[in-house]
Structure 1
Amino acid sequence: MYLISVTNSLLALGISNIDTDYDGYKHHTDSYALRYNYERNFKKTFPKELLNDFEIDLVNQMRMFDPVKEIDGAKSLIRFFKDSDIPFCFATGALPMPAMIKLDQCDIWYDEKLLATSKTHESREGFVLEAIERSKEYYGKENFDRIVSIGDGVWDLKTAQNLSLDFVGIGDKNRTKLLENGAKHCFSTLSAFKKSLI
């Protein structure tokens, strides 16, 4: 339903010719979806202030659908990280307000200071690097001995590879593709991943 909300928000901003093959995008982010479709429609440079309007409308579109459901084990994994003093951060291709709505709907703990989004970076590499910096500041660390990126898509894996980060794949939908592209650790669920840490 989220991608339907993105499409409807683009339409609400007067963008009529929308490329809905979101999986084929150069960057799998809300901010890129807006700029890419705006510029291909209007043949002019995207005005950055439009991003705020898009974010507000996206929230309104999301509220027309049922709340999102928690990915199995997400809430428990975040609680485990917190209780075990394991530093973590959220890196998402969504914009801040939609990301926080999804976390709220799933009753998952977060702090805005630990939320890196596509509001500041169109590319996944950009906001993952921002997430690392936010995490260093939040936890008072100069460096981390090991950084692990967790994701379910091939683009998540490629981002981790591009940044020389360890990667853990989640879910069976893309498991074969992830393994074929070099993923070394894949789990069916976040709950299964958490069990491997205990």
Structure 2
Amino acid sequence: MRNTLFIFDIDGTLTDSVPMYLESVTRSLAALGIANIDTDYNNYKHHTDSYALRYNYERNFNQGFHAGLLDDFENDLVYQMSRFDPVREIEGAKSLIQFFREQEVPFCFATGALPKPAMIKLDQCDIWYDQNLLSTSKTHESREGFVNDAIRKAKSYYGKKNFDQIVSIGDGLWDLKTAQNLSLDFVGVGDKNKQKLIAEGAKKCFTDLNEFKKTLV
């Protein structure tokens, strides 16, 4: 596995944070003065924070937003998250990351969230990360964009020109579609979307990360 790269989604894959975080996104959009918010997030063109802000801002105000607004959005997300209880890990997440570190298996993180909220969720679950291995929608609105960025960062971090295999690990259909679009292998996590993932072509799906880890040892 030492020349296999594992790319982890965060919300719903490593941290049990999806309902809380979507509510935080809605509250933060409202705090920026956006009255008519499309909360059907699962059907967005891009399942990312940066797209949620641009899409809702432009459809409300009929104009593009300035770059600083993304920073304001990110900072307000931190505030909104502080109003909720800390999130918990998806079963086996902390243990799997620690196992990869001990076995020197390359891994990185790719999330549709913005950097500060992403790190807060990992911190609350005591899951190890390095910011140099974290790619977010702060710089890439599309999932393909920040997943490719995660691969680039991982190559630099681990001193690799290439990986023999790249495995994307996620819980949502958007994670699967991104992996398919980039010709990456995919592992599904969680029972909520399991049947949908299988129907769309996922060949490996596990209830939690403890179950997935058993296939590696």
Q: Residue 75 of structure 2 corresponds to which residue in structure 1?
A: 56
Of 23, 31, 44, 2:50 maps to 31
Of 81, 85, 105, 1:86 maps to 105
Q: Residue 47 of structure 1 corresponds to which residue in structure 2?
A: 66
Q: Residue 137 of structure 2 corresponds to which residue in structure 1?
A: 118
Q: Which runs of 4+ in 1 moved over 4 A?
A: none
Of 164, 170, 176, 1:145 maps to 164
Q: Residue 178 of structure 1 corresponds to which residue in structure 2?
A: 197
- Residue 47 of structure 1 deviates from its aligned partner by 1.6
What's the C-alpha RMSD, in Å, of the aligned pairs? Answer: 0.6
Q: Deviations over 1:81-136 (max 9, x none)?
A: 10110100000000000000000000000000000000000111000000000000
- Residue 24 of structure 1 deviates from its aligned partner by 1.0
Q: Number of residues paired by the alignment?
A: 198
Q: Within 5 Å, which residues of 2 pair with 1:96-135?
A: 96-135=115-154
Of 149, 172, 190, 2:209 maps to 190
For the residues of structure 1 that align with 2:90 and 2:206, how far apart are their CA atoms?
A: 13
Identity of aligned residues (%): 74
TM-score by length of 1: 0.99
For the residues of structure 2 that align with 1:5 and 1:189, how far apart are their CA atoms?
A: 25
Q: Deviations over 1:160-181 (max 9, x none)?
A: 0000000001111111111110
- The alignment partner of 1:18 has SS state of coil
- The alignment partner of 1:62 has SS state of helix
- Residue 58 of structure 1 deviates from its aligned partner by 0.5
Q: Deviations over 1:120-162 (max 9, x none)?
A: 0011100000000000000000000000000011110000000
- Residue 46 of structure 1 deviates from its aligned partner by 2.1
For structure 2, list consecutive stretches of 5 or more residues without a partner in the other structure: 1-19
For structure 1, list consecutive stretches of 5 or more residues without a partner in the other structure: none
- The alignment partner of 2:168 has SS state of strand
- Residue 6 of structure 1 deviates from its aligned partner by 0.5
Correspondence 1:18 to 2:3: no
Q: Residue 8 of structure 2 corresponds to which residue in structure 1?
A: none
Q: Residue 5 of structure 2 corresponds to which residue in structure 1?
A: none
